[in-house]
């Protein structure tokens, strides 16, 4: 369901979608927080949202791996975003961990904000642990005014990282559910050369993402 928002907006703000993406440990949340703080210092009102599934560091705030936090609104459903902003209008809207949102995140949540004159900053993972794009990220990237790829450092060779490797018992894991919340105990940043990719032809997967035929 798309909920239209009648938004008041700062006269100097034009609708604009800025997307930062990259692997884990690439300072994406740090970039979001820095951007929101900058806008606040210039006198703009800001609101930040996070998916309720992400409770690694806080159930409310967005928090970097270095412990820097910023107030946010945790949401379960896309409709909650529009309802919150109807009562708490803001000029600048931030979204953290957008890979956890459903595929219609762009069309049902972001587009109404842009049509209401808002400036939106969204950050998220570029690829899942198998090296495939997250469904919610593709429309964001193609619909954005600006897209910036952020890199971390490969855990194996220290080259710029562009992928996220899931680790189980110290080894790369290629199976399991795509959405699995974790931190340094479960994921490593990897460069293209060090990333272990699964290539299975004519393979079907069960509802948890595990191959049922090889």
117 found inside a domain: yes
Are the C-beta atoms of 44 and 139 separated by less than 8 Å? no
For residue 62, the enclosing domain spans: 16-150
Residue 168 included in any domain? no
Calpha distance 151→190 (Å, rounded): 10
Asked whether residue 182 is assigned to any structural domain, the reply reads: no
Which contacts of 59-63 are long-range, i.e. CB under 8 A and separated by 24 or more positions? 62/29, 62/32, 62/33, 62/96, 62/97, 63/29
The model's pLDDT over 116-156, given as tens digits with 9 standing for 90+, comes to 999 999 999 999 988 999 999 999 999 999 999 999 999 99
Residue 132 lies in a domain: yes
Query: For 85-102, what is the mean pLDDT?
Result: 94
Question: 175 in a domain, yes or no?
Answer: no
Q: How do strand 163-168 and strand 171-172 relate by DSSP bridges?
A: antiparallel
The answer to whether residue 172 sits within a structural domain is: no
Q: Are strands 119-125 and 92-95 parallel, antiparallel or unpaired?
A: parallel
- Other CB atoms within 10 A of residue 28 CB: 25
What's the total number of domains in the chain? 1
For 69-92, write each residue's pLDDT tens digit: 888 999 999 999 999 999 999 999
Residue 103 in any domain: the answer is yes
From the number of C-beta atoms within 10 Å of its C-beta (0-12, 13-18, 19+), residue 105 rates as buried
Residue 79 lies in a domain: yes
- CATH number, residue 27: 3.40.50.300
Q: List, for residues 152-194, the tens digit of each pLDDT value.
A: 999 999 999 999 998 888 777 776 666 655 555 578 999 999 9
Residues with active-site annotation: 97
């Amino acid at each position: 369901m798309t909920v239209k928002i009648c938004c008041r907006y700062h006269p100097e703000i034009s609708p604009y979608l800025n997307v930062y993406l990259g692997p884990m440990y690439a300072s994406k949340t740090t970039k979001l927080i820095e951007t929101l703080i900058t806008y606040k210092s210039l006198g703009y009102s800001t609101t930040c949202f996070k998916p309720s599934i992400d409770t690694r560091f806080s159930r409310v705030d967005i928090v970097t791996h270095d412990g820097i936090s910023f107030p946010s609104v945790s949401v379960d459903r896309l409709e909650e975003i529009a309802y919150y902003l109807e009562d708490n209008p803001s000029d600048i809207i931030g979204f953290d961990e957008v890979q956890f949102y459903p595929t219609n995140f762009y069309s049902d949540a972001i587009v109404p904000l842009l049509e209401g004159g808002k400036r939106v900053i969204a950050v998220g993972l570029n690829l899942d642990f198998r090296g495939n794009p997250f469904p919610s990220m593709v429309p964001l990237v193609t619909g954005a005014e600006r897209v910036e790829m952020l890199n971390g450092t490969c855990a194996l060779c220290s080259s710029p990282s562009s992928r996220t490797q899931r680790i189980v018992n110290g080894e790369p894991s290629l199976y399991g559910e795509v959405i699995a919340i974790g931190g340094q105990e479960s994921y490593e940043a990897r460069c293209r050369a060090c990333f272990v990719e699964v290539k299975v032809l004519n393979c079907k997967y069960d509802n948890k993402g595990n191959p049922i035929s090889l």
